[in-house]
Chains A and B, each alone.
Chain A
């Protein structure tokens, strides 16, 4: 990394320091604008949410006097919040492996030299393009108790409104729509593996499955990590589908209640902004801890 500054040997040391200072200033300048946006619209709101969480805050502002840890206690003792955490845990543990497997499988399929690669790639990516509202509306219709899906498999279950299947219906829906995007990330990872590796395996007469499992899969580690973090956090932030599917109620029987839906309802249905902020902070901490754990266990990426 120091190759450049070393190669451009400045005769006077202060001039070199001057170069470094100039570089730093430009660095701050370039990074400053985005950082300002992040600072104003992410860090400040986070801090403000912390502030709000210590008050009884209604639509038109806060009531006088701080509430202390009242809001936090309310959230942490709320059985609905516990249910929401359980739901999102189940959901994430269900959807992430599924969509990763699906995405990887699609990538493997596509990676074969077949005709119409571009077209098929577009087809697989298609569900990722559509908006949440559009896709969920379509899905609601297809997974009706007498919709397309049930006609094909001969069932009558209303998938989204049965407490035991609602979460899994959303898992299926989301895995289907994100698999296209994940497929692209894995495709990239597959390109990075050189053919020499496969030639060596061929020389050793390694079978297809062992080649994949012992060689390809481990070599995809950077891809696994990227997808796991990005889409794991994404899954934890589930809101759109649960809102649309349950009409905002988080039902049936709290089956589609997610922590983010909890925050949303507290704010916009019960007008208790203080509790909503407290719930938000609690959940942020949870996501943060989980991400750190992920980083430490699944391993550090090469050049974060």
Chain B
């Protein structure tokens, strides 16, 4: 009897030990789930981003990052999630909304994480990092950037003398030649967006600025911009049957446009037959350009902050960024990552590029005023001076 109990006990103990050792042997580390959210400007980007996330997951077995692409209305979607206290852990923040999101308190300050893991922030271009910094607190790292450049249809440029313009005067001249020789049948030589996110570059080129909008220099720049349309040398994309100037270039309804790096994958997939050259942005009194950048930031309400930090710092670290810019969909925001070839025209803008919408908490509202007023100016129902004063007060929160 006792022996049987003893044997039984022994078997049980053995079994327990066996199971325990088996567990120990195959014990998996706990996996933390982290969510990553962003938008994409095209299906190519979707695929690439997923690839980047997959690479992260395979190199970080204790963290599993899930990607969700939010198209349609990213800010609204994110607002809903912030209010619900269920935001994604890591997500895109466009520089134009960074100011107001910081003000609303939905972004996690990163300084303590930076210090703890001794992350090197010096590699980021200071102007770009500055878009996501308020005072001394850093709220995100720029994941990439793009300025504007000038893209011209090669065939049409050839018919107009073959030399790309470098100044305002030359731009007008080339456009005039194109118009006189009907080089762009059914369209206009230049496509100009009714968008301050393009026109502001021209203001900077004339030595104007957002804080001196009512100055003669700024007003003259707008007059030049709108003047090109009034002279019949340029038109807004909707008048060229397009949603944006890139489409106009593709449809060959415009010869000269001003767009950023995002144009390249679009043209490649949608209008592969159109030959165009990329040239540096024109200048006038000085160089002027806009830097569009987006950060990876962490949510204040994230429940996995440490894992989120690992993801965030990898994505914007050397390895992650190298992978991201390898397809040429964007330019690196770090000085220790090289851009792929053929991007010289964009990179030469770096010294002149000023941030788009940086750090201003009233920017979202001001942008609506900008757009609506510019449309009115182009239609001739509003004066430039009136628009400038509207925008100035909107930027101050008025």
Which of A146, A162, A257, A271: most chain B CB closer than 10 A? A271
Chain B window 221-245, contacts with chain A (Cβ cutoff 8 Å), 1 for yes, 0 for no: 0000000000000001011110000
Asked whether, in the complex, the Cβ of A60 is within 8 Å of the Cβ of B368, the reply is no
Residues in A whose Cβ lies below 8 Å from that of B381: 163, 253
- Residues of chain B lying within 8 A (CB to CB) of residue A250: 368, 372
Return chain A residues, CB-CB under 8 Å to B365. Answer: 269-270
- B 58-102 contacts with A by CB, 8 A: 73, 75-76, 79-80, 82-83, 100
Query: In the complex the two chains form, is B375's CB within 8 Å of A60's CB?
Result: no
Does the CB pair A60–B376 fall under 8 Å?
no
In the complex formed, the residue of A with least CB distance to B105 is: A60
Residue of A nearest to B100 (CB): A271
Are A145 and B240 in contact (CB-based, < 8 A)?
Answer: yes
Contact B239 A145 (CB under 8 A): yes
1/0 per position for B358-381, CB-CB distance to A under 8 A? 000000110010011101100101
In-complex Cβ contact of A268 among B79, B186, B194, B373 (8 A): B79
Contacts of B368 on A, CB cut-off 8 Å? 249-251, 265, 269
Residues on B with C-beta less than 8 A from A251 are: 368, 371-372, 375
- Report which residue of B79, B80, B382 has the largest number of chain A beta carbons within 10 angstroms of its beta carbon: B79
Give A58 to B106 CA distance when docked, in angstroms. 11
In the complex, what residues of A have CB within 8 A of residue B80's CB? 268
Asked whether A161 is an interface residue with its Cβ less than 8 Å from the other chain, the reply is: yes
How far is B106's CA from A147's CA once the two chains are assembled, in angstroms?
Answer: 43
Q: Out of B104, B371, B372, which one reaches A58, CB within 8 Å? A: B104
Residues of B within 8 A of A271 (CB): 79, 100, 104
Contact A60 B104, CB 8 Å, known A268-B75, A270-B365? yes
Q: How many angstroms between the C-alpha atoms of A54 and B122 in the bound complex? A: 46
Query: From residue 250 to 292 of chain A, which have CB atoms closer than 8 A to chain B?
Result: 250-254, 257, 265, 267-271
Q: Does A94 contact B (CB under 8 A)?
A: no
**Chain B residue nearest in CB terms to A83:** B372
**Pairwise interchain contact A253-B372, C-beta atoms closer than 8 A:** yes
A interface size (C-beta, 8 A): 28
By DSSP majority rule, is chain B's interface helix, strand, loop, or mixed?
helix
| Chain B: minimal CB distance from A232 (Å) | 28
Which residues from chain A contact B236 at a C-beta distance below 8 Å? 161
**Does A59 lie at the interface of the complex (its beta carbon under 8 Å from any beta carbon of B)?**
yes
Chain B residue numbers with a CB within 8 Å of A269 are 75-76, 364-365, 368
> Is A248 at the interface (CB under 8 A from chain B)?
yes
Tell me the minimal C-beta distance from A65 to chain B in angstroms: 17
B241, A146: Cβ atoms under 8 Å? Answer: yes
Are the C-beta atoms of B238 and A163 separated by less than 8 Å?
A: no
- In chain A between 164 and 205, which residues have their CB closer than 8 angstroms to a CB of chain B? 164
**Given A163-B376, A248-B73, A249-B368: A158 touches B239 (CB 8 Å cut-off):** yes
Docked Cα-Cα span, A269 to B77, in Å, equals 11
A contact residues around B83 at 8 Å (CB): 59-60
Q: Which of A59, A160, A162, A163 contacts B106 (CB 8 A)?
A: A59
Residue contact B241 to A252, C-beta cutoff 8 Å: no
* A269 to B82 Cα, complex, angstroms: 13
Q: Is the CB of A253 within 8 A of B73?
A: no
Q: Is A210 at the interface (CB under 8 A from chain B)?
A: no
Closest to A161 in B: B238
Most B C-beta atoms less than 10 A away, residue of A145, A162, A164, A257: A145
Q: Which residue of A lies closest to B187 (CB)?
A: A146
Q: Contact between B241 and A145 (Cβ–Cβ < 8 Å)?
A: yes
CA distance A251 to B374 in the complex (A): 10
Chain A residues closer than 8 Å to B372, beta-carbon distance: 249-254, 257
When distances are taken between beta carbons in the complex, the residues of chain B under 8 Å from A221 are none
Q: Are B375 and A163 in contact, with the CB atoms below 8 A?
A: yes
Whether B364 and A270, one on each chain, are in contact in the complex, defined by CB atoms closer than 8 angstroms, is: yes
Which of A58, A156, A253, A257 has the most C-beta atoms of chain B within 10 angstroms of its own C-beta?
Answer: A253
Does A294 make an interface contact (CB < 8 A)? no
What is the distance, in angstroms, from B103's C-beta to the closest C-beta of chain A? 8
B245 to chain A, nearest CB (A): 14
In the complex, what residue of chain B is closest to A163 when comparing beta carbons? B379
> CB distance A144 to B79 under 8 Å?
no
Nearest A residue to B367, CB-CB: A249
**25 pairs across A/B with beta carbons < 8 Å?**
A59-B79, A59-B104, A59-B106, A60-B83, A60-B104, A60-B105, A60-B106, A144-B238, A145-B240, A158-B238, A163-B375, A248-B73, A249-B372, A252-B194, A252-B375, A252-B376, A253-B375, A253-B376, A253-B379, A265-B368, A268-B79, A269-B364, A269-B365, A270-B100, A271-B79
Extra contacts besides A60-B83, A158-B238, A270-B100 (4): CB < 8 Å: A146-B186, A146-B241, A251-B375, A253-B376
Tell me the B residues contacting A by CB distance below 8 Å: 73, 75-76, 79-80, 82-83, 100, 104-106, 186, 194, 236, 238-241, 364-365, 368, 371-373, 375-376, 379, 381-382
A residues whose Cβ falls under 8 Å from a Cβ of B: 58-60, 144-147, 156, 158, 160-164, 248-254, 257, 265, 267-271
